[in-house]
Structure 1
Amino acid sequence: MKSPELRAVIDLGTNTFHILIASIDADGLIHEVYRERIFVKLASDGIETIGAAPFDRGITALAHFADVIRKYRVKEVTAIGTAALRTASNGEVFVRQAELETGIRIKLIQGDHEAQYITRGVLAALPPLDGRILIMDIGGGSTEYILASERGVHWRQSFPIGVAVLHRGFHHTDPISEEEIRDLYAFLDHILVPLKDILRQYPTTHLVGAAGTFDVMADVLKDAAAVPHPTSHTLDLKGMEELHFRIVASTTAERLDIPGIPPERVDLIVVAMLLIRYTVELANIDRITVSDYAMKEGILLGIDEASPLV
C-alpha cells in the first residue's frame, strides 16, 4: 500500500515562523515527521513596517525551511502569512522577495480565515466535546477567539491584540508597572466588547489555549492527575496564580531564570499572561486545556472541512 504523501505547512507569524511536515492517513490522523520554529520577531521594529533586520531574519528562516523541504522531498507546500505580513507596509515586498530567493510562495490571509484554520486544528486535537469551550490562540499580531460546542462552532473573531502589539503599546518599564497594566486592561475592555457580548449569549467556563504562552503553561502547570490525552493537556489551576504573579512582577533578567520559559519569549510573555488572565476573569474560567494543534494542523486537515457556524 502506498504511503500517504508528505505535506509541508509554513506559518509565518508575527513573532515566530513555524514549519510542519506531516502526512494524513486514511482516518484523517496527522503523522508528523518534522517540526521546527524560528523566532524571527518580524514586528521587533514595529508592526507598521518590517525593519531591515527582521526582514532579513525572515528571509533567512524561509531559506532554511526551503532546504528542509528539499531534504524531505515534499511536493505540496502551503505557506501562510498572518498579521504582520498582511498589515506591514512592506509585507507584499517580503512576499515577493521570499518567492524570488527561496521559491516559497506565501499566501496572505485575513484574521477570520486564520480563525477557521485554528478552529479545525484545535477541535481535531481535543476529545469529543461535552459542553461549550472558548478557544484562544495568541499570536504576535493578533489573537483569535472561537466559541464552540458539540453542536459546532457558534462564533469566531480575530482581534489585533497579539503580544507584539500589546508589548509595544503597553510594556515599557521593567518590570511592567501597575499603570501600564491598568492601561492595557482598559484597552482590552474597549476592543473585546464583541467577546463580552457573545459570552453573555454562550457562556462557558472552559478555556482551550493553543500555541505560544499556552505551551509554556502546559509545561509548567500540566495536571499529573488528569487522564492523559495524546494531543491535549489539562492544566492544574492551583499553580496558575503563583505563575502569573511571578512572571508579571519579574524583570527580564528574572524571567530568564524561570524554568520552562524559552529565552525568546521572556519579553512578550508578560502581556500574554495578562491577556490570559483578563480572559479567565471575563469568562469566569475554571478549566483550561492546552491543544497541541492550532493553525498548521488545521491547514493540513483541510479548511473546507472546518465546522460551519451554527
Structure 2
Amino acid sequence: MGKPIAVMDLGTNTFHLLIAEGDPANPTILFKSTDPVKLGEGGINKGIIQPAAFERGVKAMQQFNEHILKYDVGQIRAIATSALRSAANGQQFIDDVKAKTGISIETINGDEEAGFIYKGVKAGGCLSDKNSLIMDIGGGSIEFIAGNQDGILWKQSFELGAARLMDQFHQIDPITPDAINTLKAYLDERLADLFNAMKAYQIDYLVGSSGAFDTFAEVIEATKGNTTFDIKKIKNYSFNNDELIKTTDYLIQSSHGERASNKSIIPVRVDMIVVSSIATRYIMQKLNITKVMQSTNSLKEGVVADMLG
C-alpha cells in the first residue's frame, strides 16, 4: 500500500482536512479535522477576505500541515471553493499559504465542485436507480446535481451560499416574514436555470450533502431524546417529512439565543442554519419533493474517491 493521501476542502465557513488510504469505495480514514475559519466573515458579499479571517485561514493551514507531516502523506490536494474563487485577495491568500506551508491550493470552479460532491454522495451509498437532486449548501455557493447511481444528469453551482444569504437577508433576529418573502423572491430569480432544467426529469429524492442537513438530523434526533445518535458514525439518514418540516419551522422562527443554546447546532452554523432551512424548504415546495435524505459525504469524500481510484 502506498502512502496516505490528504484532502483539504477550504470552504467559505469551514476548512476540512481528511487523511485517508485504501479502497476508494470504502477508504480508511486515518485523521479528520474541521476548523470553523469563517473565511467569508465580514467580506463575503464585498469580494474580499477580511484581515482577521485571512489570518485564521493561514493559521488553520499551518496546523493542517503539521498533521500532514505527522502521517507522512504522499499526495495532497487542497481545494478552494467559493470564497477564494470570488475574493480579490484570494490569490494573495494562496501565495501566503504556499510560502508558509508549501501547500499548493487549487481553486476549482462551481462545475468541478458539483462533480466532486456527486462523487462523494455516490461513494456514501445515497443514490439509487431513481433520480435524486443533490443539494450542497456551502457558505458561498449552493451546488445542485441531478443524477442517480449511473451518473450525473445535470449540475450547476449558484453563488447563493448561506453566508451570502444571511448577510443580505437575515439582519434582524428572529428573521422577519418580510425578509423571508424577499429571500424567496430572490431565489425565484436566481434559480431559474435549476427550475427550467428540472422540468426534464422526474426527481424522487432531495439528497442534502452534509452541512445544514447534518444539523437537521442532529436536532431531530435530540428532540426525540435519542442520546445514542452520532452523525459521525453514519453515512446517510432518511428524514421523516413531518419531522423535517417541524424542525425547519422551529429553526426559522427561533432566536439567536435559542439556537446558540441548542447543543445539536455547532457554533459556525448557529445563524446560517436559518437561511439554510428557508432554502431547503423552498426547494422542497418548488419541486414538490417530500422524500429527503442526508449524506454525510460531500466534496472532500468525492476528492478522496477520485484520488484513491
Q: 2:40 aligns with which of 20, 39, 43?
A: 43
Whether 2:31 is the aligned partner of 1:34: answer yes
In the other structure, the counterpart of 2:79 is: 80
Q: Give distance in 2, aligned partners of 1:73 and 1:303.
A: 16
Once residues 258 and 245 of structure 1 are traced to their aligned partners in structure 2, the CA distance between those partners, rounded to angstroms, is 15
For 2:230, the equivalent position in structure 1 comes to none
> Counterpart in 1 of 2:3?
5
Q: Partners of 1:243 and 1:100 in 2: how far apart?
A: 45
The 8 Å contact of residues 205 and 284 in structure 1, kept in 2 or not, is answered as: no
* Aligned equivalent of 1:289: 293
Aligned to 2:98: 99
Residue pair 1:147, 1:155 contacting (<8 A) in 2 also: yes
Q: Helix, strand or coil for the counterpart of 1:302?
A: helix
Report 1:1-310 matches (<5 A): 3-25=1-23, 28-47=25-44, 48-126=47-125, 129-221=128-220, 231-302=235-306
Contact preservation (8 Å) 2:129, 2:150: no
Aligned residues: 298
Deviations 1:86-112 (A, max 9, x none): 100000000000111121110011100
Amino acid at match of 1:292: T
State whether residues 14 and 141 of structure 1, in contact with CA within 8 Å, keep that contact through their aligned partners in structure 2.
yes
Structure 2 residue matching 1:289: 3-state secondary structure? strand
CA distance in 2, matches of 1:138, 1:36: 20
**1:100 to 1:52, Cα distance in 2 relative to 1, 3 A:** same
Local SS of the residue matching 2:93: helix
* Structure 2 counterpart SS, 1:273: helix
Q: CA deviation at 1:304?
A: 11
SS in 2 for 1:146: strand
| CA drift at 1:258 | 2.5
1:33 CA displacement: 1.2
Q: By how many angstroms is 1:165 displaced?
A: 0.6
| Consecutive aligned runs of 4 or more in structure 1 exceeding 6 Å deviation | none
Distance in 2, matches of 1:217 and 1:98, equals: 34
1:308 match = none
Contact 1:79 1:105 (C-alpha < 8 Å) held by counterparts = yes
Per the alignment, do residues 128 and 291 of structure 1 end up closer, same or farther by CA in structure 2, a change over 3 Å counting? closer
Are the counterparts in 2 of residues 203 and 283 from structure 1 also a CA contact under 8 Å?
no
Which runs of 5 or more residues in structure 1 are unaligned? 306-310
Q: Percent of pairs identical after alignment?
A: 38
In angstroms, what is the RMSD of aligned CA positions? 1.9
Partner SS, residue 3 of structure 2: coil
State how far apart, in whole Å, the 2-side matches of 1:166 and 1:217 are. 18
Do 1:117 and 1:303's aligned partners in 2 also have CA atoms closer than 8 Å? no
**Alignment deviations for residues 29-77 of structure 1 (CA, whole Å, 9 cap, x no partner):** 2111111111111111112100000000000100100011111111211
Q: Equivalents in 1 of 2:135, 2:202: separation in Å? A: 15
Most deviating of 236-245 and 53-62? 236-245
Structure 1 contact 125–291 (Cα < 8 Å) conserved: yes
Structure 2 contact 209–295 (Cα < 8 Å) conserved: yes
